[in-house]
A and B are shown apart, each in its own frame.
Chain A
Amino acid sequence: MKPAPFDYVAPRTIEEALRVLAEAGGGATVIAGGQTLMPLLNLRMSQPFILVDINGIEGFSGVTRIDGGTRIGPATRQADALQDTILARHLPAFVKALSHVGHHQTRNRGTVGGSIALGEPAAEMPATAVALGATIEIASVRGTRRVPAREFYVGPYMTVLEPDELVTGIVYPDWPESHHVLFREVAQRPGDFALVGMVGAAVVESGTVGRAGLAWFGMGPTPVAMVQLEAALVGKSLDDLDPDALAATAIADTAPFDDHHASAEYRRTVGRRTFARTLREALSLREPA
């Protein structure tokens, strides 16, 4: 239960961090809050040669408003984001999901960027980025690029990040202030990873769904965008929505798995019910007769 030996550096600038990552040729791992990585190190499931601590990089934490959206620095502590007034006002779905991430003690240390970059499939932050249409800003010595969260995740703890790349920011597009938040998570205990979870936002204008962004967590090898559901929802009048039928569409894109916590069938069943109930509550739809 002790990590294998490694070197440790704490660069002060992005350039320095990127240089170390490039020179390590794949042997480096980035550590921010460490609340996901440290268990992996302690269990020796991760054995890097060198750990690159990004906590001290200037400008790497904090929340800023940018044109048409909100940008979160990757090393922003989850506990700080939870108290942030910009996020409370502009990204209530994000804040709601964040309140379910880990425990008080791990949020004090854990970062938003760390959770997003690692991509645990049952975690709230990756799915929230996918649901709300966030863009991940990435840098390496080779240059910078921006990847939509919906194209960022490829498998459990696997993303499109190359070994020499670093997440330098996460940008969430604005949702109109009147949007509805959809969130529900089923876990065995508070703070546990979700067995089934969903997060998202929907905009309703004069009785019609104008825009929707939703995703599942714990329902496949990556966060799963509810692509078919979104298409089915947008343009519909609230009076025509059938939450139970939509729930079947919502789980169409999922690929849940069996593990010792729950079977795939359980996840699908609970997922359907969770979806129908959350949609009804969020949009104040009628209960079924």
Chain B
Amino acid sequence: MSDHSISMTINGRRQTGTVEARTSLGDFLRMDAGYTGVHLGCEHGVCGACTVVVDGRAVRSCLVLAVQADGSEVTTVEGLADPEGTLHPVQQAMRDSHGLQCGFCTPGVVMTFAALTAEDCKPTEDELIAAMSGHICRCTGYQGIRKAAKILVEGGAA
């Protein structure tokens, strides 16, 4: 079993560490880097709770090895709000539309929407809803999340 020194940028800060080859990115983010907003549910790619943004794309952090993310730029839900606490547009939309209840699935959902609405991307509502198929929410019945998607498209999220 090989150990690997890795280094990545997480929410704008450089994080280094030594990991076993088998350590998932999700475990590295939670256990080594302390970003417990990354929620691990199923750990086999089904639930979407662990979704983070790696180099601009939403991916499941339980299905990426930490060593594979060496040198990457990673954003977790902790990296969205600005330091004064102003919510990211996706967070605000989820809040305004009651898109969460227990909050377990929420960081994953928010990261998918954040990646899809980043910078110049102009997703359609249908694209956001289609991407939601990669997330399971046992609480909300999804209607609040759909409403958030609508707000993001109509409000032209930055």
Stretch of A2-10, A168-176, A210-218, A244-252 contacting B (4+ beta carbons < 8 Å): A2-10
Residue A51 is within 8 A (CB to CB) of chain B in the complex: yes
The residue of chain B having its C-beta at the shortest distance from the C-beta of A40 within the complex is B44
Q: Give Cα A102–Cα B44 distance, bound, in whole angstroms.
A: 13
Chain A contact residues, CB within 8 Å of chain B:
1-10, 31, 34-35, 38-39, 41-43, 51, 53, 55, 79, 102-106, 108-109, 189-191
Residues of chain B with a CB closer than 8 A to A190's CB:
130, 133
B: contact size bracket = 20 to 34
Q: DSSP majority for the A interface?
A: loop
Is A105's CB under 8 angstroms from B21's CB?
no
Q: A31, A38, A108, A191: which contacts B133 (Cβ < 8 A)?
A: A191
Chain B residues near A (Cβ < 8 Å): 1-2, 4, 20-22, 24, 27, 42-45, 48, 51, 57-60, 62-65, 67-68, 112, 116, 130-131, 133-134
Known: A38-B44, A38-B45, A79-B57. A3 touches B134 (CB 8 A): no
Whether the Cβ atoms of B131 and A104 lie closer than 8 Å is yes
* Interchain CB contact under 8 A, B22 and A105: no
Residues of A within 8 Å of B112, CB to CB, are 104-105
Known: A105-B131, A190-B133. 9 other contacts (CB 8 A): A1-B44, A3-B22, A7-B2, A8-B4, A55-B68, A103-B131, A104-B131, A108-B58, A109-B59
Contact B48 A105 (CB under 8 A): yes
What are 29 sample pairs from A and B whose C-beta atoms fall under 8 A apart? Answer: A1-B42, A1-B44, A2-B22, A2-B43, A3-B22, A5-B20, A5-B21, A5-B22, A6-B22, A7-B1, A7-B2, A7-B21, A8-B67, A34-B65, A38-B64, A39-B45, A42-B62, A43-B44, A51-B21, A55-B68, A105-B48, A105-B51, A105-B58, A105-B131, A106-B59, A106-B60, A108-B59, A109-B57, A109-B63
- Measured in the bound complex, the distance between the Cα atoms of B1 and A256 in whole Å is 40
**Residue of chain B at shortest CB distance from A41:** B22
Q: Which residues of B contact A8 (CB under 8 A)?
A: 2, 4, 21, 65, 67
Contact in complex: B134, A34 (CB < 8 Å): no
- B26 to nearest A CB, angstroms? 10
Task: Say yes or no: A189 contacts B133, CB within 8 Å.
Answer: yes
Q: How far is the CA of A4 from the CA of B1 in the complex (A)?
A: 9
CB nearest neighbor in A for B70: A10
Separation in Å of the A188 CB from the closest CB of chain B?
11
* Distance, CA A38 to CA B60, complexed state (A): 11
| CA A55 to CA B65, docked complex, whole Å | 12
Write out the residue numbers on chain A whose beta carbons fall within 8 Å of the beta carbon of B20: 5
Interface centre among A42, A53, A102, A108 (most CB of B within 10 A): A108
B111: min CB distance to chain A, Å:
9
A41 CA to B63 CA in the complex, in Å? 10
